């Protein structure tokens, strides 16, 4: 069975790499190279890097187009709307890192952690015109515990590749219920700000935004990004911080400088 993969972000790159171990991937559809990081230099999306390493042809149109006919198209963290005319040309299977219909939309992993969800997971569903609302072929849950977003994404990629292998050839779809549907809005600058008077929310916020963008706050009069933290007897304890204009350091190292 020949697959096409539409992916851009690290989760999509991880799923692409796992799929390529057991399936023939005819091409990768990904977004154009874009400016990244502090230097705003133009760089390739993570999925492109993986495809090039694996020798998979890469296509980067401004608007989605099918590079060629395939039996299935797997969509995972692609980031562009797929028009109906393309959905009609093949069966598109979307990988969504949440327990749909909860957390449809752009930031399901972050929103699940921020909300204190005890469970999250992966849903494989048919891509339809409405956002993350297609019928479900497979779904599996796992505990959030104290995982950060990076760990949830890694677990999600592992689960997604396995579920896709189980349903790819002959998926049986069940309609997705509307009851319980919630939407995971994009993360904004306001979402990054810590309220240190609320230790539990601060701990969740750090985990939800690590390791990709980090949470923001003021500690000992210094504005900084907090990359890692934990709770100790109900208190918020930073572990890895980055004062503005400085490199990442342990919180103990920062405190030594304060003293």
Q: How confident is the model at residue 35 (pLDDT cuts 50, 70, 90)?
A: confident
Contacts of 60 (CB under 8 A, 6+ apart): 29, 30, 31, 32, 33, 48
Contacts of 162 (CB under 8 A, 6+ apart): none
pTM, two decimals, is 0.94
DSSP character for 215?
Answer: E
CATH architecture, domain 2-183: 3-Layer(aba) Sandwich (3.40)
Question: What span, in angstroms and rounded, lies between the C-alpha atoms of 159 and 237?
Answer: 31
Count Cβ atoms below 10 Å from residue 119 Cβ, excluding itself. 12
The 3-state secondary structure of 37-74 reads CCCCEEECCHHHHHHHHHCCCEECCCCCCCCCCCCEEE
Q: Where are the domains of the chain?
A: 2-183, 190-258
Position 136 scores a pLDDT of 98
Q: Count CA within 13 A, CB hemisphere, residue 241.
A: 21
Q: How confident is the model at residue 212 (pLDDT cuts 50, 70, 90)?
A: very high
Q: Are 124 and 136 in contact (CB under 8 A)?
A: yes
Mean pLDDT within 65-86 = 95
pLDDT of 232 > 70? The answer is yes
Position 70 scores a pLDDT of 96
Position 40 scores a pLDDT of 78
pLDDT of 5 > 90? The answer is yes
Q: How confident is the model at residue 259 (pLDDT cuts 50, 70, 90)?
A: low
Position 99 scores a pLDDT of 98
Superfamily for the 190-258 domain: Formyl transferase, C-terminal domain (3.10.25.10)
* pLDDT tens digits, 140-178: 999 999 999 999 999 999 999 999 999 999 999 999 998
Position 64 scores a pLDDT of 95
Position 72 scores a pLDDT of 97
Q: 231 has which bridge partners?
A: 236
Contacts of 33 (CB under 8 A, 6+ apart): 42, 43, 44, 45, 48, 60
Question: What span, in angstroms and rounded, lies between the C-alpha atoms of 100 and 118?
Answer: 15
Residue among 196, 211, 195 nearest 152 (CA):
211
Mean pLDDT within 53-65 = 97
DSSP for 129-191, please give it: SSTT-SPEEEEEEEE-TT--HHHHHHHHHHHHHHHHHHHSSS---BPPPSTT--EEPPP-TGG
Position 36 scores a pLDDT of 79
Strand 91-96 and strand 41-43: pairing? Answer: unpaired
Mean pLDDT within 84-94 = 96
Position 1 scores a pLDDT of 86
Q: How confident is the model at residue 257 (pLDDT cuts 50, 70, 90)?
A: confident
């Amino acid at each position: 069975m020949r697959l096409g993969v539409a992916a851009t972000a690290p989760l999509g790159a991880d799923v692409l790499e796992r799929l390529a171990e057991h399936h023939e991937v005819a091409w990768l559809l990904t977004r154009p190279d874009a400016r990244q990081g502090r230097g705003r230099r133009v760089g390739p999306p993570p999925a492109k890097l993986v495809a090039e390493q694996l020798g998979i042809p890469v296509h980067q149109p401004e608007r989605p187009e099918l590079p060629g006919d395939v039996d299935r198209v797997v969509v995972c963290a692609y980031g562009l709307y797929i028009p109906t005319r393309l959905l009609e040309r093949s069966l598109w299977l979307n990988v969504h890192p949440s327990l749909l219909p909860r957390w449809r939309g752009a930031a399901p992993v972050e929103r699940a952690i921020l909300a204190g969800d005890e469970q999250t997971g992966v849903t494989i569903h048919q891509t339809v015109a409405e956002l993350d609302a297609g019928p479900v072929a497979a779904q599996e849950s796992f505990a959030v515990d104290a995982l950060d977003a990076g760990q949830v994404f890694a677990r999600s990629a592992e689960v997604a590749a396995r579920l896709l292998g189980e349903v790819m050839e002959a998926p049986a779809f069940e309609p997705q219920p509307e009851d319980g549907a919630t939407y995971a809005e994009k993360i904004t600058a306001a979402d990054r700000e810590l309220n240190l008077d609320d230790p539990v929310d601060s701990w969740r916020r750090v985990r939800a935004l690590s390791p990709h963008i980090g949470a923001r706050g003021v500690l000992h009069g210094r504005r900084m990004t907090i990359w890692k933290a934990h709770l100790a007897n109900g208190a918020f304890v930073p572990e890895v911080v980055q004062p503005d204009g400085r490199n990442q350091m342990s919180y103990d190292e920062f405190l030594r400088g304060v003293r």
